[in-house]
Amino acid sequence: MYKEKISGNQVFWLISTMQIGMTILLTINPSIAVAKQDAWISILLSSMFSVGLAYVLTRISIMYPNESLISYAPKIMGKFLGHVIILIYVLYWFTVLGIILRQYGDFMIGTILQLTPVIIPIIGMLIVAAYVTYAGIEVLARCSEVLGPLILLGIMVPLLLNISQIQLDNLQPIIMDNTFSVLLKGALPTASFLGDNILLMMILPFVADPRKGVRGALLGSVVAGLFTLLSAMQCIAIFGYSTASRQTYPFLNLVRFISFGFLQNLDAIVVAIWIMGIFIKVSLYLFAASYGTAQWLGVKRWRSFIFIASPIAIILSMLPRNFVDSSILFPKLVAVPFNLPVVFILIPLLLWIVAMIRNRKKKHSQKQQPEATS
């Protein structure tokens, strides 16, 4: 049993706040560049995928209650394949943690800290995340409860203030000049970010009430997808797909576009909101990498691995040379071709299907035993 416990409501805030910030920041542009005015449809497909992934992960968690990926993978797939799967996810956690930190650093020096070395904001974020992670998943969950409403409000307010600027003609024609394959291709960048709810494998064992945990996981994925969808639609409706596709951060420009009475120049506030979301995301990945590795190696004092994972994350974050490497080449060469089909689709489905088969065989054998004794 896991001593630390979180509520279903906290699962909702963890998942929604972790996914919203960077997804809106980094995936709207590539989706619009591919699917043009139909990018919102591509993001809708990505959102449906995210909810489907959350459903699969919660089904596995129900079959193996109070167990994480580290404990149930060998039971489902056998020791050898189980440990291979664990190794894949450990490498994924560390790699993505480094990339998130670099993307955060590139964003900060590209917007408000132009003369600052990229490693400074990276180290600053990691120190804060390590402090909260060391305190445990309960403290991190409480942080998400406090910061979550502020993050959602920080995205909702700009959307509401820009309603009068919307031009629905920019959203037309709908699916007239795009094939389904193009829409699917446009969905890949967003799906590779919304697939972050794969961390449910490490979060759900700590939920006090599994049923509420399932509800929180699914609802959090829905809210994250919905906010990304609305943000993309408004960026296209206001700027048009041609202009939005040439903007590195369309939503940030959307915020700068606000002119509502005395409410202007809100981009600094939104940047602060995004930093909160990235903080939750970095902390969750650091927790998964530290706790998961320690559990895999059989080390009870998992917090000691934070002091190992943090330097590794800094080294990995400095491997990309610039914004192009971290936010364009990594998604194109690693996230979309490997993480999405293997880490987010193939392995979870394989675990779910094999687990269902094993459970059915187990129930069938249990029914036969009383008949044989009678």
**pLDDT tens across 185-213, in order?**
989 988 988 888 899 999 999 998 888 88
pLDDT surpassing 90 at residue 179: no
Q: What are phi and psi of 369, to 5 degrees?
A: -60, -45
259 has a pLDDT exceeding 70? no
CB 302 within 8 A of CB 68: no
Residues of the chain with pLDDT > 90, as a percent, come to 46
Mean pLDDT of 264-292: 86
Tell me how far apart the alpha carbons of residues 43 and 166 are, in angstroms, rounded to a whole number. Answer: 19
pLDDT at 270: 76
Predicted confidence (pLDDT) at residue 367 exceeds the cutoff of 70: no
Question: What are the tokens at 262?
Answer: 């005395």
Query: What mean pLDDT do residues 306-330 have?
Result: 89
Beta carbons within 8 Å of 2's beta carbon, 6+ residues apart: 66, 205, 206
CA distance 6 to 140: 10
- Over range 141-169, report the average pLDDT: 87
Does residue 1 have a pLDDT over 60?
no
pLDDT in tens, 210-222: 888 889 999 999 9
Rounded CA separation 111/195 (Å): 27
Work out the percent of the chain whose per-residue pLDDT is above 70: 94
What pLDDT sits at residue 366? 67
Q: What is the mean pLDDT of residues 262-272?
A: 72
Q: Is the pTM of this model over 0.85?
A: yes
Closest CA to 271 of 372, 146, 121: 121
The reported pLDDT for the residue numbered 200 is 92
Residue ranges of alpha helices (H) inside the chain are 8-35, 39-63, 69-77, 79-111, 119-135, 137-161, 180-194, 200-203, 210-239, 241-244, 250-256, 267-297, 306-317, 323-324, 330, 347-373
Burial tier of 133 (Cβ tally within 10 Å: 0-12, 13-18, 19+): buried
Distance CA 282, CA 156 (A): 23
371 has a pLDDT exceeding 70: no
Residue 78 falls in which region: left (phi positive, over 0), alpha (psi -120 to 50) or beta? left
